[in-house]
Structure 1
Amino acid sequence: MTALSPLRRIARFGRRQLRLLIAKAPAPIGRRLSRRFWKPRPGAIDFGDFGETAPVSSDFGFDRGGPIDRYFIEGFLTRHASRIRGRVLEIGDNEYTRRFGGNRVAKSDVLHVYAANPVVTIIGDISIPGALPERAFDCIVLTQTLHLIFDMQAALAELARALKPGGTLLVTVPGISPIDRGPWGFTWFWSLTEIALRRLLASVFEEKDIEVETFGNVFAAVCFLQGLAASEVPHAKLDVLDRSFPVIVAAAARRRLE
């Protein structure tokens, strides 16, 4: 091992002393510094508005202006908007098809397990083989739906079968998330990690045709669990990625050309 030069030893000693000094800084100063250098001492956490056992919002933040998870989902769809084209299938309604597909969409289909509203064109359960027409869609937009299906692998197999060769499945799932307090809470089976979604998709798509992304960090996760709206928090903080705290996991999976 090469011995450090005197100047490097002095510099390293100085850095160590500076870290110790910063670590002992009083809270008003320390809170202005990076968490990398300063952390509140045990027992000195200021919980503020997050100190209650009930969240700020029990409706994901919809009642405050729009959920944080939608910020990530809509950013993902914005980056993949060019794939939303031709004949497009969406679940529940076609809001994202119209918003991100625009005039690239030739036909918009909407799937629901019930004929819930006039825009529904296909009624069925995608975990049942044959629920969808085969090789019919250029794109399928599946946001925040897969986790409501117990047999996710069967559902993905049906979705892959329904894509045209070269067609794309755009899917998002919850990672760190509250569970719906309404009707969907009774079928909220899963939250997924990045590797779990990749492995599920790899059972029906070629590995090289799968692009998986994750979104979130501890700040985003805490704010989302509390039900804050995306408009209430700095987007620059939401955009920082820490894969240990996935709020949303998303993927674009392309059916191979045949």
Structure 2
Amino acid sequence: MEKSSRNRAPLYSAGKAVRNALRRLGSRWRWAARSEPLSRNFGFDRGTPIDRHYIELFLGSHAHRIAGRVLEIGDATYSRRFGVEAVSQQEVLHVHPGNPVATIVGDISDPLTLEDAAFDCIILTQTIHLIYDMKAALLQIRRALKPGGVLLLTAPGITPLDQYEWQTTWYWSLSPIALQRLVDEVFGSGSSQFSNYGNFYAASAFIDGAALEEVNMHKLTGYDPVFPVIVAACATKMPAAVNESARS
């Protein structure tokens, strides 16, 4: 009996180690009073950033609008994922030369960067806050949309700041009312649908740098207006006749 117990001891220790490892892998994020966050890179170094969950929820809810000639910033990831075969012509804009997938290079707020009435859909995720004159950028985007075309826009609410590529151009974080006022001033009141995402759990985990794979997904549901992580708008460029009748 004593020999049998000794023989089982290494197996028990090994099994305990495996169980502990699995427990760590499957653990849910819990806030702890640390002096440093889990990640200083939005959780990218741990998995999928939490804000991506909300961005993709928003784009998924408007996937039917991602069609025709589509412009996306940086790459075409979301156009391919949500537009699928409805995208007839894909364009990618990047502010700096050297991006191998970019078909347009330039500042989106520069009138010379985009053609007039060229796009059916523009996907502008997590970009507008990197432009100091946000209204100027939105005016150029509206000009570049075809009548009836849509802008799918997301912006950070409660968020850490970037300390890498965009450190010197991260100007803004937007509240829901700020985004609504900004978009309404450019596209006209009543031409846009607004969506906001986040709650205390999501905001706390996101600031801490926890990844999506580490959190309780169920706790990400439910919106608390005090803790918006992502603010979003689907803005439609109304035809000129509609705009004129709205003013009269």
TM-score, length-normalised on structure 2?
0.83
Give the alignment partner of residue 212 of structure 2, picking from 230, 238, 253.
230
Q: Contact (CA 8 Å) 1:178, 1:225: kept in 2 or not? A: yes
* Aligned-residue RMSD, C-alpha: 1.1
| 1:129-166 C-alpha deviation (Å, 9 max, x unpaired) | 23200100000000000000000000000000000000
Q: Which residue of 2 aligns with 1:248?
A: 230
Q: Which residue of 2 aligns with 1:219?
A: 201
Give the alignment partner of residue 58 of structure 1, picking from 37, 40, 49.
40
Question: What does residue range 30-109 of structure 1 map to in structure 2 within 5 Å?
Answer: 50-109=32-91
Q: Which residue of 2 aligns with 1:130?
A: 112
Q: Which runs of 5+ in 2 are unaligned?
A: 1-29, 241-248
> How far apart in 1 are the matches of 2:143 and 2:112?
9
Q: Which residue of 2 aligns with 1:110?
A: 92
> How far apart in 1 are the matches of 2:184 and 2:59?
21
1:65 is displaced (CA, Å) by: 1.3
> How far apart in 1 are the matches of 2:42 and 2:213?
13
1:49 is displaced (CA, Å) by: 5.5
> How far apart in 1 are the matches of 2:31 and 2:196?
28
Q: Contact (CA 8 Å) 1:130, 1:158: kept in 2 or not? A: no
- Percent identical residues: 54
Matched letter for residue 154 of structure 1: A
1:50 is displaced (CA, Å) by: 2.1
Q: Contact (CA 8 Å) 2:76, 2:92: kept in 1 or not? A: yes
> How far apart in 2 are the matches of 1:153 and 1:206?
13
TM-score, length-normalised on structure 1?
0.80
Question: What does residue range 74-223 of structure 1 map to in structure 2 within 5 Å?
Answer: 74-223=56-205
Q: Contact (CA 8 Å) 2:202, 2:220: kept in 1 or not? A: yes
Matched letter for residue 127 of structure 2: T
> How far apart in 1 are the matches of 2:161 and 2:198?
17
Secondary structure of the residue aligned to 1:157 is helix
| 1:172-205 C-alpha deviation (Å, 9 max, x unpaired) | 0000000011020110000001110111111211
Q: Contact (CA 8 Å) 2:31, 2:204: kept in 1 or not? A: no
Q: How many residues align?
A: 211
Q: Which residue of 2 aligns with 1:5?
A: none
Matched letter for residue 133 of structure 1: E
> How far apart in 1 are the matches of 2:116 and 2:101?
21
1:116 is displaced (CA, Å) by: 2.8
Matched letter for residue 228 of structure 1: A
Matched letter for residue 168 of structure 2: F
Task: Indicate the larger mover: 248-257 or 205-214.
Answer: 205-214
> How far apart in 2 are the matches of 1:116 and 1:198?
34
Q: Which residue of 2 aligns with 1:42?
A: none
| 1:16-71 C-alpha deviation (Å, 9 max, x unpaired) | xxxxxxxxxxxxxxxxxxxxxxxxxxxxxxxx752111101111111111000000
> How far apart in 1 are the matches of 2:51 and 2:99?
25
Q: Relative contact order (C-alpha < 8 Å, sep 6+): which is higher?
A: 2
Secondary structure of the residue aligned to 1:50 is coil
Q: Which runs of 5+ in 1 are unaligned?
A: 1-47
> How far apart in 1 are the matches of 2:198 and 2:31?
21
